[in-house]
Amino acid sequence: MTSYRIVGGKRLQGDISISGSKNAVLGILAAAMMLDGPCKIENVPDIVDVQAMLEICETIGAKITPCGEGTYEIDPTNINTYEATHPKVKNIRASYYLLGALLTRFRKATMYMPGGCNFGTRPIDLHLKGFRKMGAQGTRATDIRDGIIRIVAEELKGAHIFLDVVSVGATINLMLAATKANGTTVIENAAKEPHIVDVANFLNAMGADIKGAGTDTIRVRGVPVLPGGYTYSVIPDQIEAGTYMIASAVTRGDVTIHNLIPKHMEPLTVKMLEMGFNIEQGDDWIRVTIDDGVEPEPTNFKTRPYPGFPTDLQPQATVLLCQANGLSRMHENVWDNRFQYIPELQSMGASITVMERIALINGPVSFCGARVSALDLRAGAAMVLAGLAADGVTTITCANRIERGYEKIVEKLRAVGAEIDHIPDDEEHIVSDGDE
Ligand code: EPZ
């Protein structure tokens, strides 16, 4: 385990370049396991969860060849098992995408139930219900024994599926299972996140026939073969970009974030403009500043599926609201328990009251450095932002959880003037593991 030590109070200035999207790559790597030929994937971020997924793909027989600079050659043609039961599978939730991929490859899939996480239950009932509609057996809760899912499908048939809840994971998993099914599958009430579009674009580049990704109705015409044979470049990470936009804001800095897609940032950009920040943008960059003497205005955020405000920026935006001049509200509408990091922020001086899914945030407060823990990936990112803004020194333990989703975060922040270092974790402050 590692910790970060931050000496706060420095205005960040300069340029940060965004890496490939974690949540797109995790789906794309699972999708690559279905191909009937090799492919190449570019702009893969060097982060813990992606390394874990690459290792998991190797445990089922895929040949993964790093080509350097975030490019990998993937050859799934020798995959020799439909069982994803290596212990590593439990390390990341996104391994559940292998259910759809292995079901497509073998008409069978066996794997551990994905772990929970520390911001509420993480069910997969919608994934299983969709597979059942497509003809799979073993998808009922009563079929799951010893925490292992065993799914079999004599034939995967196209189906008309309506998702009761907008779910990123179910949308991607069912898209994977539909890619080579017999007939056409329609997924209604589908999630529309940028990473879903990226997985669909990857699959279409490799021979699939998917229409409507990015809308709430996705139509997948099953094809007999997915030849692969192409190179695909992953989109920039929307959440990493938003985190650094907020880093510039909370330090009243002047940072330009490069290699992003401004359209994906709109749910955050509009709110930061509302708060009084200056946002300049070009084709692939955004610059965040605030005029001298201007205090950020309070406002209300509501997390929603895309194009709403992303839940994965909720902790980070809460830190920003702590600096607003008045009372703000953060409504968490996606996860049922994603405010567990608030006490860590309160130990740094935040004045926040949580009532179920709403956090009432009183500002402005000046954060003071403290010893806090990264309870999960995005809560950890929020602690970094508070540490950057704080007076004094902040130590963040379990910082390896932050490195699950942020490539070279220490180096990227140092390059814009942050005083941040890795230090060894001191054992007594390590809390239970937070999964994503
Ligand atoms: C993905 O998780 C992301 N993870 C999460 O990001 C993100 O918070 C989430 O989407 C929402 O945007 C990856 O992409 C690897 P969901 P996922 O299925 O797919 C309910 C990060 O920080 N639901 O969209 O697991 C569920 O309880 C991580 O990068 C069901 O009820 O989320 C939740 O309330 C954290 N039944 C809502 O849907 C199901 O079968 C949205 O969940 C599935 C989900």
Secondary structure (DSSP) of 165-201: S--HHHHHHHHHHHTTSBSEEEEES----HHHHHHHH
Mean pLDDT of 92-104: 95
What does the pLDDT look like over 78-94, one tens digit per residue? 999 999 998 889 888 89
Ligand 1 centroid to residue 168 C-alpha, Å: 6
Whether pLDDT at 288 is above 50: yes
Give the ligand 1 atom nearest the CA of 336.
34
Give the ligand 1 atom nearest the CA of 405.
29
Ligand 1 centroid to residue 169 C-alpha, Å: 6
DSSP class of residue 434? -
Whether pLDDT at 220 is above 50: yes
Is-contact 95 412, C-beta < 8 A?
no
Query: In this predicted structure, what is the pLDDT of residue 117?
Result: 56
Mean pLDDT of the chain: 95
What does the pLDDT look like over 9-22, one tens digit per residue? 999 999 999 999 99
Is-contact 377 403, C-beta < 8 A?
no
Whether pLDDT at 431 is above 70: no
Q: Tokens standing for 355?
A: 């009532």
> Can 117 be counted among the known catalytic residues?
yes
Whether pLDDT at 27 is above 60: yes
Ligand 1 centroid to residue 28 C-alpha, Å: 16
Give the ligand 1 atom nearest the CA of 122.
27
Ligand 1 site, residue 230, Cβ cutoff 6 A: no
**Peptide linkage before 364 cis (omega within 30 of 0):** yes
CA distance 432 to 425: 14
Amino acid in position 377: L
Ligand 1 site, residue 312, Cβ cutoff 6 A: yes
**Peptide linkage before 307 cis (omega within 30 of 0):** yes
Q: Considering the chain, what percentage of its residues have pLDDT values greater than 90? A: 90
CA distance 193 to 172: 10
Q: Which pLDDT band, with edges at 50, 70 and 90, does 432 fall under?
A: very low
Whether pLDDT at 359 is above 60: yes
Q: Which pLDDT band, with edges at 50, 70 and 90, does 430 fall under?
A: very low
Sign of the Cα pseudo-torsion (299, 249, 379, 395, in order)? negative
The answer for 70, left when phi > 0, alpha when psi is -120 to 50, beta otherwise, is left
Give the ligand 1 atom nearest the CA of 310.
12
Ligand 1 centroid to residue 309 C-alpha, Å: 14
Compute how many other C-beta atoms are within 10 angstroms of the C-beta atom of residue 51. 16
Query: In this predicted structure, what is the pLDDT of residue 188?
Result: 98
Ligand 1 site, residue 390, Cβ cutoff 6 A: no
Ligand 1 centroid to residue 114 C-alpha, Å: 12
Is-contact 164 190, C-beta < 8 A?
no
Give the ligand 1 atom nearest the CA of 121.
27
Helix (H) or strand (E) holding 268: helix 262-274
CA distance 417 to 252: 13
- Supply the residue whose CA is at minimum distance from atom 31 of ligand 1: 123
- Neighbouring-strand partners of residue 371: 395
CA distance 67 to 233: 14
What does the pLDDT look like over 259-282, one tens digit per residue? 999 999 999 999 999 999 999 999
Mean pLDDT of 189-213: 98
Query: In this predicted structure, what is the pLDDT of residue 122?
Result: 78
Query: Which 3 state secondary structure label does DSSP give 75?
Result: strand
Ligand 1 site, residue 335, Cβ cutoff 6 A: yes
Whether pLDDT at 118 is above 60: yes
Ligand 1 site, residue 165, Cβ cutoff 6 A: yes
Q: Which residue is it, tokens 């069912």?
A: 174
Ligand 1 site, residue 350, Cβ cutoff 6 A: no
- Neighbouring-strand partners of residue 145: 148
- Supply the residue whose CA is at minimum distance from atom 43 of ligand 1: 124
Mean pLDDT of 116-127: 77
Compute how many other C-beta atoms are within 10 angstroms of the C-beta atom of residue 292. 6
Ligand 1 site, residue 425, Cβ cutoff 6 A: no
From 39, 57, 67, 117, the catalytic residue: 117
Ligand 1 site, residue 126, Cβ cutoff 6 A: yes
Whether pLDDT at 434 is above 50: no
